[in-house]
Amino acid sequence: MEENNGNISGRRKFLIKSGLAAVAVPFTQVSCQPSKDKVVEVENEDSFEFAFLTDIHIKPEMNAPKGFQMAINKVNALNPDFVITGGDLVYDTMRGNYEQSESLFSLYKEMSKGFNMPVYNCIGNHDLFAIYEESPESEDHPDYKYGMWERHFGKTYYSFDHKGWHFITLNSLEVTDNKRYKGFYHQEQLEWLKKDIAKVDKATPIVITTHIPMICTYIQLNGGSGSRSVANASEVFKILENHNLKLVLQGHIHWKEYGFVNDRFHFLTGGSIAGNGWKGRRHNTKEGFVKIKVKGNDFSWEYIDHGWEAERLKMANKSV
């Protein structure tokens, strides 16, 4: 599989949770002990957990670093094998000047070193440097669009493998002619995806991470228009047609949405760490993240409250 190109931030420390981790035994296997009436189920060393944290929107204001630190502490207490982020790591570089944007990415990078496990990052719209008309920086700036993110975290799309599962992080952002962002998988990335997937066994479970959702009911429920899903998501589904796609992890909407499509794959929009710009819930979804537990070919998930809402309300009451 294609190596991850430096997108891991934080400490590179894999924690082996089970003394049986080095023994290659399928999780359904049952081992027969010498005694003929004693059958002991072998512990499933192929099970693991990871955390999905999206829309962190880190900035120095609004006690955001305190809230993010609470999420980091909660993740460390749960001790998953790794963290995947869903984009919008910072708020915001689209309109930004260089110094401010650089300081935001530095703040994120510094804080994310606090995770006790690897962190696989994804790019979001707020991480696109200087793309808006109002930005004082020009399109010729070497950090323009994906540049600043790439300088800090490596490639914006990549894959990695973990305990028999294949994880793909995609870059779901493109810039329009009138200097706005849109949800789109550019051609170069789709070509890379075809090559990447060609090396993956058809039975291998696959997880995709994308900032802009591939599937989202927001507009059906609320009306309006805008970049709430990726315009050419179907091209990715086509590329993965004959593979074992299990789960699509999504950000951007700051709400929680889950679906299971045609007995085939699941999609999960993972709320947000920041809520509504750190000042409350967005779309009535409490600030939090997703813990995913993988067991063999299946998974289960849980939305985790890292305590920010209670802390925010406590601080607000104190200041009244």
Nearer to Fe ion, 88 or 257 (CB): 88
Query: What character string, x for contact with Fe ion (CB under 5 A) and - otherwise, covers 199-238?
Result: ----------------------------------------
> Residue 34 corresponds to which amino acid?
P
We find the least distance from the C-beta atom of residue 211 to Fe ion, in angstroms, to be 8
DSSP string, 115-181: SSS-EE----GGGSBT-STT-SS-TTSTTTBTHHHHHHH--SSEEEEETTEEEEE---EEE-TTS-E
90 - beta bridge partners? 58
User: At 77, is the secondary structure helix, strand, or coil?
Assistant: helix
Give whichever of 45 and 88 is closer to Fe ion, judged by the CB atom: 88
Question: Cβ of residue 30: shortest distance to Fe ion, in angstroms?
Answer: 46
Cβ nearer to Fe ion, comparing 26 with 226: 226
> Which stretch in 49-57, 111-119, 148-156, 220-228 sits in contact with Fe ion by CB under 5 A?
49-57
Q: Which is nearer to Fe ion, 141 or 182 (CB)?
A: 182
Kindly indicate which of the ranges 51-59, 130-138, 155-163, 167-175 contains the residues binding Fe ion, using the contact rule CB under 5 A: 51-59
Cis, peptide link before residue 298, omega less than 30° from 0: no
Amino acid type, 46: D
Cβ–Cβ under 8 Å, residues 119 and 85: yes
Whose tokens are 């086509």? That residue is 238
Give the interface size with Fe ion as a residue count (CB under 5 A): 2
Q: How far is the CB of 13 from Fe ion (least distance, A)?
A: 28
Structure tokens at 216: 């989202």
Residue with Cβ nearer Fe ion (128 or 206): 128
Stretch that binds Fe ion, among 7-15, 52-60, 162-170, 284-292 (CB under 5 A): 52-60
Q: Which residues pair with residue 83 across a beta bridge?
A: 51, 119
Helix crossing, 64-78 with 98-112: angle to 10°?
A: 30
Query: With respect to Fe ion, which residue has the nearer C-beta, 49 or 88?
Result: 88
Other CB atoms within 10 A of residue 267 CB: 20
- Of 55, 137, 174, 196, the residue at the interface with Fe ion (CB under 5 A) is 55
Q: How far is the CB of 251 from Fe ion (least distance, A)?
A: 6
For Fe ion, the closer CB: 88 or 196: 88
From the list 241, 271, 275, 245, the residue with the least C-alpha distance to 258 is 271
Kindly state the smallest distance separating residue 78's Cβ from Fe ion, in Å: 23
- 18-47 positions binding Fe ion, by CB under 5 A: none
| CA proximity to 105, closest of 133, 72, 141, 129 | 129
Nearer to Fe ion, 70 or 123 (CB): 123
Instruction: Work out how close the CB of 126 gets to Fe ion at its nearest, in angstroms, rounded to a whole number.
Output: 6
DSSP character string of 269-304:
EE--SSTTTTSS-BTTBPS-EEEEEEETTEEEEEEE
> d(Cα 24, Cα 42) in Å, to the nearest integer?
11
| CA separation, residue 37 to residues 153, 183, 259 (Å) | 55, 59, 43
CB nearer to Fe ion: give 91 or 185. 91
Among residue numbers 78 through 137, which ones bind Fe ion (CB under 5 A)? 88
Binding region for Fe ion (CB under 5 A): 55, 88
